[in-house]
Amino acid sequence: MSAQYQEQVSIDAKLIARAMKDEAFRAELLNNPEAAKAAVEQELGQKLPETVQIRVVQESDDVAYIILPAMTSETEQLSETELEAVVAGALAIKVACSFFSICFTTKKCF
């Protein structure tokens, strides 16, 4: 896994954890793209290019999202097996965050 991918996963996890605990922060991320961008920039410790947009969506019981990563020269060179390993890591994190969300909101962990 690339360092850039690992950093993005870490930033995503931090923002998700904070949004799970702070309703106002979650609402700000969902309703204000500039606030979402500022939160990412704060975690990165640097400004993003003006052209970069951050969009935050929230899944529900009947709507789920699949996020396709941008194709880069690095990902284009990976074999199908290597790509599957990268995706499996991302899904493991997503499942862990979803599991945490269920535990956090229902106070029951299955």
**Using one digit for the tens of pLDDT, what is the confidence trace for 8-41?**
667 888 888 899 999 999 999 999 999 999 998 9
State how far the Cα of 104 lies from the Cα of 5, in Å rounded to an integer.
26
Domain count, the chain: 1
Collect all residues with Cβ–Cβ distance below 8 Å to 53 and sequence separation of at least 6: 33, 37
The angle at the Cα of 4, spanning 22 to 67, to the nearest 5 degrees, equals 60
Note if the pTM is more than 0.75.
Answer: no
**59: containing domain:** 3-106
